[in-house]
Structure 1
Amino acid sequence: MPTSTSTSKSKPLMIVSGVAVAAVLAGLASYTATKPASPGASGSSSVAEVSADPSAGVYADLEAYARRDASDKLALGRADAPVVLIEYADFKCGYCGKFARDTEPVLVKKYVEKGVLRIEWRNFPIFGEESENAARASWAAGRQGRFWEFHKAAYAEGAKEKGFGKERLAALAKEAGVADLGRFAKDSDSAAAREAVGKDQEQGYALGATSTPSFLINGRPIAGAQPLETFTEAIEAAAKAAPSKGEQ
C-alpha cells in the first residue's frame, strides 16, 4: 500500500475497528517504559510484566496498516513477505530496547532472512522532546540508508541513559556509519522529518496504541516486550493463514 494512503485511511479504520483494538491493547498491557530490572534484582524479572492472550483477535482491516513499500528505508525484509510485523516504538523506551536487543535479532534470522517476515518501523515518540529528536534523527539516518544501524546504536545497552541531545544524536549517527553528518543534521530538523514522524504517530494513535512497544502482526495487536514465543507463535500462525502467491 502506498505510504500516501496509509494515514488517510486511519480514521475510517478507527471507526470500524479502532475502538475494539484499543480495548485489546489496553487489556494486554499496563506498564511503564523504564529499563527492565536485571534478573534477580529484588526478585524482579527482566521481562516486562505484561500479559498477552495468544488467541487475541486478528483484525483484518488492520492489515492495511502495512505499507509494503519496497523503497521504505525503515523496513526490513521483502515487500511481498507473507507476514508483516509493524512496531510502534520510542527510542527512550526501555522495553523497546529490550525487544530490539533480545527478540528482534532472532526474528530477523529466523523469519526475515528466509523471506517469511517483513518488519516495518513506526516512530511513536511519546516521552517528550528527546523522543521526538531521536525519532527525527532515525528518519534522517534512514535517508542515507543507515536507519537500522542507527536503531542498533540507539538501543544499545545503556544508550538511552546518555540522553538524545543534538551532540549525542550526531555521535550515534557517526557510530551508525552515516556518511554526511551535515546532511543528517539538516534532515533531522527538516519539515519532512516532522511530517514523516507525525504520519507514524497518527497511525499509532488511530490504532489505539497508548504505550510502547506496540505491534501489529498481520492485523493481530500485541502489546509490550513479550517473550520470544509470543512473537514466533503469532508469526507462524499468520504465515499459515496467509494466502499463497497463487491465490493472491
Structure 2
Amino acid sequence: MNVNVKTKKTRNVVLALVLGAVLVLAIIFVGAAAGESRLNSANPTVRPGSPSAGGSAGNQTPESGPQLERRTPSDPLALGAVDAPVVMIEYSDYRCPFCGVYARKTQPEIVKKYVETGQLRIEWRDLPVFGDSSVNAAVAARAAAAQGLFWEFNEAVYAAAPEKGKAELTEPVLVKFAEQVGMPDLAKFTADLKSAELQALVKADLAEGTALGLNSTPTFVINNQAIPGAQPLEVFIQVIDEALAQAK
C-alpha cells in the first residue's frame, strides 16, 4: 500500500514537472512571437495590392517586392544623385502637420549628412489624403516644379505649416507662396493650377501609395521598408546606414 502511494506521488511530481516545462516553453514562444510582431509593426515591409487597395504597385519581383525607385534623370521632384546607392521615397501631404515637422527639423539634417555626400537620393511622391485642398496644393507644387522651383515651394509651404491642425491652402495662399519663392512666371503658375496633366500626375502618385496600402503621411520607404510618421532623426540614420551597408 505504501509502495503504491509513493508511486502515485512520484508520478504526480513527474507530471507536474512536465506540465511546468510545457508551460514555460509556451510562454517563451508567445513572448518571442509578440516581440517579432512589435518589430514588424515598427518597421513594416511595404507590400503591393492590399485587399482594400486597387491599382498597380509598379514592377516587382518575388525577391525584392515592388520597385518603387524611379531614378529619373533631372527629376525636379528628387534630391540627390540619380546613381546614389540608396533611395528614400517620401509620401507626403502638404496639409499634414507631421510632414511639416519632418520637413523643418529632420530633412535638412538628412540632406546634409547623406544627400550632399552622394549617399542618398530622396524622391517625392504626392499622397494627398486630406481632400481636394491637398490635391490642389500638390498640383501647385508641380506647377512650381515646371519652373524649377519645386523644393523652394515645398520648403515655403512647410515652413508656414501649423504645428497642429491642417493648413488652409487656398488658391490665393498658394499664389502667395509662389510670389514668395520668386516664381518667374506667375501667370503660367496660376494657369497650371488648373492643369489636367498635373492633376493626373498627382493622382497617379496617390494611386501608387494607395496600392501599397499607405493611408497616412508622412511615410518613407527605403529598400521596401517603411518608416511611418515624422520619426526622430536617429531612426532615419539607423535605417539609411543599414541600407548603405547592404548596398556595398
**Secondary structure of 2:121 counterpart:** strand
Segment of structure 1 superposing worse, 227-236 or 150-159: 150-159
Contact conserved, 1:84 with 1:117, CA < 8 A, in 2?
Answer: yes
Contact conserved, 1:91 with 1:125, CA < 8 A, in 2?
Answer: yes
Residue of structure 2 equivalent to 1:204: 209
Contact conserved, 2:97 with 2:161, CA < 8 A, in 1?
Answer: no
Residue of structure 2 equivalent to 1:61: 65
Matching of residue 151 in structure 1 with residue 143 in structure 2 = no
The structure having more radius of gyration, on CA atoms, is 2
1:1-248 counterparts in 2 under 5 A? 28=41, 52-53=42-43, 56-57=44-45, 60-62=64-66, 64-158=67-161, 163-243=168-248
Instruction: Provide TM-score, normalisation by structure 1.
Output: 0.73
Q: Which amino acid aligns with 2:85?
A: P
Q: Which amino acid aligns with 2:230?
A: A
Instruction: Provide TM-score, normalisation by structure 2.
Output: 0.73
Alpha-carbon shift at residue 186 of structure 1 (Å): 1.5
Contact conserved, 2:95 with 2:161, CA < 8 A, in 1?
Answer: no
Contact conserved, 1:79 with 1:118, CA < 8 A, in 2?
Answer: yes
**Secondary structure of 2:227 counterpart:** strand
CA shift digits 1:53-110 (9 cap, x unpaired): 4xx5587223x11110012111000111011010000000000000000100000000
- Stretches of structure 1 that go unaligned for 5 or more consecutive residues are 1-23, 29-51, 244-248
Superposition RMSD in Å = 1.9
| d(CA) in 2 for partners of 1:241, 1:90 | 30
| d(CA) in 1 for partners of 2:228, 2:167 | 26
Residue of structure 2 equivalent to 1:45: none
Alpha-carbon shift at residue 188 of structure 1 (Å): 1.9
**Secondary structure of 2:91 counterpart:** strand
**Secondary structure of 1:118 counterpart:** strand
Q: Percent identity?
A: 47
Contact conserved, 2:88 with 2:122, CA < 8 A, in 1?
Answer: yes
| d(CA) in 1 for partners of 2:193, 2:179 | 14
Segment of structure 1 superposing worse, 153-162 or 202-211: 153-162
| d(CA) in 2 for partners of 1:83, 1:61 | 16
Alpha-carbon shift at residue 157 of structure 1 (Å): 4.0
Segment of structure 1 superposing worse, 77-86 or 154-163: 154-163
Contact conserved, 1:77 with 1:118, CA < 8 A, in 2?
Answer: yes
Alpha-carbon shift at residue 162 of structure 1 (Å): 5.6
**Secondary structure of 1:208 counterpart:** coil
Alpha-carbon shift at residue 215 of structure 1 (Å): 1.1
Contact conserved, 2:84 with 2:119, CA < 8 A, in 1?
Answer: yes
CA shift digits 1:115-170 (9 cap, x unpaired): 00000001111111211110000011001110000011100144686611111100
